[in-house]
Structure 1
Amino acid sequence: MGGTMEGTKQRRRGDTRQRIQDVALKLFAEQGYEKTSLREIAERLDVTKAALYYHFKTKEEILVSLFEDLTQPIEDLIEWGRRQPPTLETKQEIVRRYSEALAEALPLFRFMQENQATLKELRTGERFRNRMLGLRDILIDPHAPLVDQVRCVSAVFTMHAGMIALDDLPGTDEEKRKAVLEVATALITEAHQATHAAAAQAR
C-alpha cells in the first residue's frame, strides 16, 4: 500500500511539474520571457506562488528544465549515433529520428527562435548549439570534400527552417515535416555518395 501511495505522489509531482512547464512556455511565447513573472504563471495554473516554488525557484529553472526535457531525445540520438558505423543507413536513420524529435519539441524551438537574445544570456542557447555540433559531427565524414560537409550541415538547417519558415505554405504540419525530411535525407545521401565516389576514384 505504502509503495502504491508513494508512486501516486511521484506521478502527481511529475504531472504538476509538467503543467508548470506547459503553462510557462505558453506564457513565454505569448508575451515574452522577460515580461512573464512567476506570479502570472502561478495565477494561470491557479496555484499559490509557494506551490510553484516547490518545483521551481526561478523562471530560468523552468526554462532550463523545458530545454533539458524536450531536447533529451536529441542527446540520446547523438549518443546512439556515435556508437553506430558511419554508414549511409545510419545517417539516414539519424535524420529521420531527428525530424521526429524536432516535431515533439516544436513549441520550444519556436520560442527559442523568437527569443535568441534571452537564450544567449541564460546560456541555454549555448547548450543547444553544443548539441547541434554533436549532431553535425556524427553526420559529417571528416575526410569529405568541403561541399559535401556543407550538404550535411544544410540538411540540419533545412529541418530547423522547416519548423519556422513553412507556416504560410499549403499542407498540414505532418505533410511539411515529411517534405522537409525528404529534402534533408536527399542532402545527406548525396553528400555520402559523392564522398565515397571521390574516395574510390582516388585509390
Structure 2
Amino acid sequence: MATPHQPRRNDTRRRIQDVALELFAQQGYEKTSLREIAEHLDVTKAALYYHFKTKEDILVSIADDLAAPVAELITWAGGQPRTLETKQEMLRRYSDILWGASRFFRFIQENQATVRDLSIGESLKNNLHGLNSLLRDEDSSMTAQVRCITALFAMHAGMFAMQNIEGDPEEKRAAVLEVALDLVAQAEAPSAVTG
C-alpha cells in the first residue's frame, strides 16, 4: 500500500530529473554540478542527496525510466510474427517513445562523448541493437538490411533535423515516421530480398 508520502517523493524525484536534464542539455553534463541542480530546485544539496548521491545517479534514473518502454517494446515485438505489419507497428510505437522523451534524446545527441563513458551508453546501445535485430532479417539482402537499420537511424536523426524546420510538431513527427515506415516496406519488397 502506498503511503501518503510516496506520491510526493515521486514528484520530487521527477522534478529533480526534469531540472537536471534541462541543465545538462543547456550547459552540458560535465559543466553542471549538483549544487546548481539544487539551486534551480531551491533546495539544499542535502535534500538533493536524499534522492540522488551523484549527477550520474540522476542521469541513470532518467535513462532507466525511459528504457523501460523500449524494453517492453522489444519484448512485445519479439513475441510477434516477423511480418511487415509487426515491424511497422514497432516503428510506430518507437516513434511514440522517442518523441515522448525528446529532451533526453536531444541531451544524448549533444553529449555523445559523455554518454559513451557512462553506464547508460551501453544500455542505450543494447536497446538499439535489440530493436535493429527485430527489424532486419539476416537472410535478406544487404540492401534490405541497411534499409531496416536506416529506418531506426532516420527516426533518431529526424528528431534533431526537424527542430530547425518550421511546421507543426505532429506533422514533422508523422513525416519522420513515414520515411522510416517506407524504408522497412522497401526492405520487405521482393526485389530487396533477392537483390
State how many pairs are aligned: 195
Q: Find the aligned partners of 1:120 and 1:186 in 2 and give their Cα distance.
A: 31
Query: In 2, are the aligned partners of 1:71 and 1:101 still within 8 Å (CA)?
Result: no
- Tell me the alpha carbon deviations over residues 26-78 of structure 1, each in whole angstroms, 9 at most, x when there is no partner: 11111111111111111111111111111100000000111111232111101
- Would you say the 8 A contact 2:187–2:193 is kept in 1? no
Distance in 2 (alpha carbons) for counterparts of 1:50 and 1:197: 59
1:60 aligns with 2:56: yes
Using structure 1 for the length normalisation, give the TM-score.
Answer: 0.91
Query: Equivalent residue for 1:76?
Result: 72
Structure 2 residue runs of 5 or longer lacking an equivalent are none
Give yes or no for contact 1:70–1:104 (8 Å, CA) kept in 2.
no
Aligned to 1:87: 83
Q: Any residues of structure 2 matched to 1:1-203 within 5 Å, and which? A: 6-194=2-190, 198=194
C-alpha deviation, 1:193, in angstroms = 2.4
Percent identity (aligned): 57
| TM-score calculated relative to the size of structure 2 | 0.95
Write the letter of the residue equivalent to 1:159. Answer: M
Q: Residue type matched to 1:109 in 2?
A: F
Q: CA RMSD in A?
A: 1.6
Q: Alpha-carbon deviations, 1:117-151, whole Å to 9, x = none?
A: 11111132221111100000000111101100000
Question: After the TM superposition, which of the residue ranges 20-29 and 167-176 deviates more from structure 2?
Answer: 167-176
- The 2-side partners of 1:111 and 1:194 are apart by 39
Could you tell me how far apart the structure 2 residues matched to 1:74 and 1:195 are? Answer: 31
Q: Which has the larger radius of gyration?
A: 1
SS in 1 for 2:163: coil
SS of residue in 1 equivalent to 2:82: coil
Asked whether the equivalents of residues 148 and 194 of structure 1 are also in contact (C-alpha less than 8 Å), the reply is no
Runs of at least 4 residues off by over 2 Å: 193-199
Query: 5+ unaligned residues in a row in structure 1: which ranges?
Result: none
